[in-house]
Amino acid sequence: MNFLVKSFYVGEHERAVDEKLRVALPSKWRPESEDETFLALPNPIGCITVYPPKMVARLEEKVSEVSLGDTEGQMVLAKLFSQADTFTCDAKGRVKIDERLVKHGDIGTEVVLVGGGSTFSIWNPEKFRIYVRRESPQDIASILKGLGL
């Protein structure tokens, strides 16, 4: 049961970014061991989406299903993964963000870590506030209804 709790990411957590581009994860989000690998991908909406170890294995399965003959799929994977990075969590619960991803997310000295259920995102705080304001309560209610929630 503890594994399920660790792999479900909820909430907003403001964090400082140190001079080595490291960010401390909330204790609830840290993996069981330091050698578990996260995958960080540039999200087209302007943030960094992080797949935890459990989701990395599932993503690896999906990616392996893209055939060599699927040239469009191969192109998308090449572009996406050429901008991605993998990292582990150190003994203090910090992860290091790759410089290319920092640039993509317009990351400065502060970030907001935003839970997304099975993944989490790293945001520039101002960009996140603007992004969240785009949806009205009615839009959100409609989306939730469509999801059956």
114-137 pLDDT, tens digit per residue, is 999 999 999 999 999 998 876 666
For the sheet with 12-16, list strands across it: 12-16, 110-115, 120-123, 48-51, 38-42, 85-87
14-71 pLDDT, tens digit per residue, is 999 999 999 999 999 988 877 889 999 999 999 999 998 888 888 888 888 888 898 8
User: Does domain 2-146 sit in CATH 3.40.50.1820?
Assistant: no
